[in-house]
Structure 1
Amino acid sequence: MSCDSYADAPERGIFITFEGGDGAGKTTHIRFLAQHLRERGREVVCLREPGGTAIGERLRDVVLDPDCVEMCDRTELFVYEAARAQIVAEVILPALARGAVVLCDRFCDSTVAYQVFGRGLPRAFVDQANRFATQGLVPDRTILMTTGERVEVGLERATRHHEADRMELAGLEFHERVTEGFRSLAESERERVRIVVSRERKSETSRMVFSELSDLFPWMRDEAVCSDDLFASLDRARHEGRCR
């Protein structure tokens, strides 16, 4: 089937989130996916949490500031939910309504992993807060990216090019609990949450991401479109120093 045939299919808004611990390569694969969706005529909105709006970015500065050592766990939760409520109302819902593909780096699953499993806040309350902030919005698909390595390796990779933020400084045991939280979510929602293990070759990782999204985008099942050369461009970019 040609790309033109795929373009004839009616489009609907699709919401995809990327989750996982630090250092798994979410940013790289969101950019690569967005590039190829745009090349096939889709409007793509790339976002991050917390952030994505003027208000959300200011809240991000507060909640991730290493100097905010006195912030209690409940305050942390409400800051995340406030930023989420804003990005859903201001950006995500309007984008989906006009048929865009929304790719978001972190969403409600991170709150369950970090604030429930990591901080120990009650799951029932956090779930309720998530539903309130999102107006009931649930991603069509969640890609849970993992390095398959020890937690400390991912943390080291994540902070290699910047100073650690407040969450990254929360300690190894905290991040081990977060990792377990993500595993639990994947086991409980296997249809929505798909695990992708980051490989040394980014092309292999990206091919797995596309495979887990192929039911949402039929052209991803077409080997003539999703050829080895398409994915190999990621490895070439890395070799040439354009992609870290």
Structure 2
Amino acid sequence: MITQPGKFIVIEGLEGAGKSSAIALVNDLIEQHTGQAPVCTREPGGTPLAEKIRDLVKIGDDSDPLCDEAECLLIYAARAQLIANVIKPALAKGQWVLGDRHNLSSLAYQGGGRGLMPLVTAVSDACLSGFTPDFTLYLDIEPRLGLTRAADRGKLDRIEQQAIDFFERARQTYLQLALQDDTIVVIDASQSMEKVHQDIRHQLMNRLPLLQSKD
């Protein structure tokens, strides 16, 4: 019996968009639909080495500030590890993978936010070789609202402490890329959690049969 490849679903969004609760919901929906819990990952991170890289990116060091280019390259190093050692092996076994962020984050944050789109595009092409998620839910929120929500959770990390203009540029990049890719669906994350989850459930349940029909 030949195992059909699994599917790769990603949740994206700015800080405070509600990714954690959305991931919990999508995890349950995938398990109900397929009969198997998905493999859950996060970026940067998801492997022992990639988690160490995550700490370098998330925790600031005033004595040796991380430059924008180094940030970009570190994130792609972590992503390459995750794809090679977790995501692709799981998909090859027929398992579904649910990702907390993927390449769209780099395009938005490092490409749009940092203004490094040529570097991001070049490194993305080299590292990913066309590998993309089957479906992405982008939780859209106005940056000031999102950061207020994030601050309510506790101390902000190095990325979350960036200027508001950084997040405005990242958001616009997210929205522009979503318009160009029919595998990306935009959810209004400024709504109540109940309404956000209702929209996610509707979008995902409409897509799951289509994803499986591609096997």
TM-score where L is the length of structure 2 = 0.88
Q: 1:37 aligns with which of 30, 44, 64?
A: 30
Structure 1 residue 18 corresponds to structure 2 residue 11: yes
Q: Distance in 2 between matches of 1:109 and 1:89?
A: 18
Q: CA deviation at 1:42?
A: 2.1
Q: CA deviation at 1:169?
A: 0.9
Q: Distance in 1 between matches of 2:4 and 2:201?
A: 18
Kept in 2: contact 1:46–1:103 (CA 8 A): yes
1:170 corresponds to which residue? 162
The one-letter amino acid of 2:122's match is: Q
Structure 1 residue 57 corresponds to structure 2 residue 48: no
- Indicate the percent of aligned positions where both proteins have the same amino acid: 34
2:108 corresponds to which residue? 113
Q: Distance in 2 between matches of 1:200 and 1:124?
A: 34
2:180 corresponds to which residue? 188
Q: CA deviation at 1:128?
A: 2.5
SS in 2 for 1:217: helix
Kept in 2: contact 1:131–1:137 (CA 8 A): no
Q: 2:75 aligns with which of 61, 80, 97?
A: 80
Q: Distance in 2 between matches of 1:178 and 1:153?
A: 15
Q: Give the structure, 1 or 2, with the largest relative contact order (CA under 8 Å, sep 6 or more).
A: 2
Q: CA deviation at 1:179?
A: 0.9
Q: 1:214 aligns with which of 201, 205, 208?
A: 205
The one-letter amino acid of 1:25's match is: G
Q: 1:204 aligns with which of 180, 195, 203?
A: 195
Q: 2:153 aligns with which of 161, 185, 197?
A: 161
Q: Distance in 1 between matches of 2:177 and 2:88?
A: 24
User: Structure 1 unaligned runs (5+)?
Assistant: 1-9, 220-244
Q: Distance in 1 between matches of 2:75 and 2:55?
A: 11
Kept in 1: contact 2:22–2:197 (CA 8 A): yes
Q: CA RMSD for the aligned pairs?
A: 1.9
1:48 corresponds to which residue? 42
TM-score where L is the length of structure 1 = 0.78
Aligned length: 206
Structure 1 residue 104 corresponds to structure 2 residue 99: yes
Distance 1:177 1:199, change over 3 A: closer
> Once the two structures are superposed, what CA deviation does each residue of 1:160-182 show, in whole Å capped at 9, x if it has no partner?
22211111111111111111111
**Which of structure 1's runs of 4+ aligned residues deviate more than 3 A?**
none
SS in 2 for 1:186: helix
Q: Distance in 1 between matches of 2:81 and 2:196?
A: 32
Pair member with larger Rg? 1
Q: 2:60 aligns with which of 36, 58, 66?
A: 66
> Once the two structures are superposed, what CA deviation does each residue of 1:169-214 show, in whole Å capped at 9, x if it has no partner?
111111111111111111121x111101125443322222132223
The one-letter amino acid of 1:174's match is: F
1:103-142 mapped onto 2 (5 Å cutoff): 103-121=98-116, 123-142=117-136
